[in-house]
Amino acid sequence: MPHSCIGGFLSFLETSSNASPKTLTAYRTDLTQYFDFLREHWGLGEGDPLDPGRATPTDVRLFMGSLLDRGIKPRSIARKLASVKSCYRYLLESGAIEQSALSLVMTPRLDRKVPEFLSEGEAASLFGHLPDPAARSGEEGADAGFEAARDIAILELLYGCGLRLSEVIGLENAGVDLHNGFLKVTGKGRKQRIVPLGKPASEALRNYFEVRRNFFRISLGRVEESPRVFVTRRGRQLYPMLVQRMTKRYLSSVTESGRKNPHMLRHSFATHLLNAGADLKSVSEMLGHSSLTTTELYTHVTFSRLREVYLKSHPRA
């Protein structure tokens, strides 16, 4: 039954929640680990039937303990438990099982990590010292000029629009409206949202589009036909590692933080907006968060700023 119930649950997720292939793969891995553990723990043979509804809170806690013994991090264990709980809710509602002990198992409380971000000065330094694509093209060739224009546009969208890495890679030409100044982005769960496009990001995109058009017409003798905004110099879709390496290279010039990745610019986008007085709900919508609780992680800096304002302004401070 476990394999069939996993398949049924994943089909339900795909149709009801429009879950992405990556999300479905994560659920499949988590649930397979859980049911394999139960089978071994209960001493069942390969062909013996397994009843998920028989699981007790102790069984589930033993599963979590086995993951700890294997060196799995608490945050990953909490995610796996959430996957199992979701599957059991589906099994109950569909009538596949009559009872579930999962509601009696508490998800372990995790320390909420404060996201690393650039200071406003570091961000200004980063964008104030980006290379000139035209100069790079003249010094190193058309390939270098194309990649410089592309990379600058990517950095502007990561910081200026708060996009995720996957959203930058998946951004389509049809989703860019330079005239009205917005992007249509497909985020987690294939949910679409509209994101405002600032002047520097708009200018970087305009320049990139022009460079891209000339590059493929002159250097490769053809028009670029990819629906994606960002492509390699061979016209193929970007891959995450390429953007991660590029971002790390540029961030290394302005910060000594250990996490020099695309998400650091997204964190900086949210933090700087909140520091400037933007309301939490608006920032949450721009980030594509499904819950304000997630966005609240970025209020860490605003508290120190509020204290500074209080100390300067209140007569009894």
Residues marked as catalytic:
164, 188, 263, 266, 289, 298
* 227's tokens: 């629906």
Question: Please, is 223 exposed, middle or buried when counting C-beta atoms within 10 Å of its C-beta (0-12, 13-18, 19+)?
Answer: exposed
Instruction: Assess contact for 3 and 29: CB atoms under 8 A.
Output: no
Which residue blocks in the chain are alpha helix, DSSP H? Answer: 2-16, 21-41, 57-69, 74-94, 120-128, 133-140, 142-160, 165-170, 199-214, 240-251, 262-275, 280-287, 292-295, 300-313
Instruction: Assess contact for 292 and 284: CB atoms under 8 A.
Output: yes
Count of CB atoms within 10 A of residue 135's CB? Answer: 12
- Tokens 């949450």 correspond to 284
Question: Please, is 202 exposed, middle or buried when counting C-beta atoms within 10 Å of its C-beta (0-12, 13-18, 19+)?
Answer: buried
Bridge partners of 158, per DSSP, are none
Instruction: Assess contact for 87 and 31: CB atoms under 8 A.
Output: yes
d(CA 135, CA 156): 19
Instruction: Assess contact for 176 and 230: CB atoms under 8 A.
Output: no
